[in-house]
Amino acid sequence: MSPSRPLRADARRNREALLAAARAAFLAGDTDAHVEEIARSAGVAVGTLYRHFETREALIEEVYRKEVDDLCAAPEQLLDHHPPQEALSRFLLLLVDHAAVGKGMSVALASIMASDSPVFDDARARMGDALTRLLDAGSAAGAIRGDVTGPTLLRALGGICAMGVRDGWLDEARQITSLLLDGLRQSAPARPVPRAVRRAAPARGQDVP
In whole angstroms, what is the distance from residue 5 CA to residue 8 CA? 10
- Tell me the pLDDT tens digit for each residue of 8-19: 778 889 899 999
CA gap 149, 131 in Å, rounded: 8
Is residue 130 a contact partner of residue 150, using CB atoms and an 8 Å limit?
A: yes
Q: Can you give the pLDDT at residue 205?
A: 46
Segment 109-126 shows an average pLDDT of 77
Q: 39-82, pLDDT tens digit by residue?
A: 899 899 889 888 898 888 888 888 888 889 999 999 999 999 99
Q: Treating both helix axes as pointing N-terminal to C-terminal, what angle do 84-104 and 106-113 enclose, rounded to 10 degrees? A: 80
Closest C-alpha to 35, from 3, 58, 7, 69: 58
pLDDT at residue 188, as a whole number: 39
Q: Model-level pTM greater than 0.85?
A: no
Amino acid at position 134, single letter: L
- Mean pLDDT for 140-144 is 92
| CA–CA distance, 109 with 75 (Å, rounded to integer) | 25
pLDDT at residue number 120: 85
CATH architecture of 57-184: Orthogonal Bundle (1.10)
pLDDT of residue 85: 93
**What are the residue ranges of helices labelled H in 8-105?**
9-27, 35-42, 46-52, 56-72, 74-81, 84-104
Alpha carbon distance 135, 145 (integer Å)? 8
CATH of domain 1-54: 1.10.10
Provide the pLDDT confidence category of residue 5 given band limits of 50, 70 and 90: low
Q: Per residue in 150-193, pLDDT tens? A: 999 988 887 776 666 667 777 888 888 888 889 898 663 444 54
In one letter, which amino acid is 27?
L
DSSP state of 35: H
Q: In the chain, where does the domain assigned CATH 1.10.357.10 lie?
A: 57-184
Cβ atoms of residues 75 and 133 within 8 Å: yes
The string over 74-90, giving b where at least 16 C-beta atoms fall within 10 Å of a residue's C-beta and e elsewhere, is bbeebbeeeebbebbbb
Q: Could you tell me what percent of the chain has a pLDDT over 90?
A: 27
pLDDT over 80 at 197, yes or no: no
CATH 1.10.10 location in the chain: 1-54
Q: Which pLDDT belongs to residue 126?
A: 93
Q: Is residue 128 predicted with pLDDT exceeding 80?
A: yes
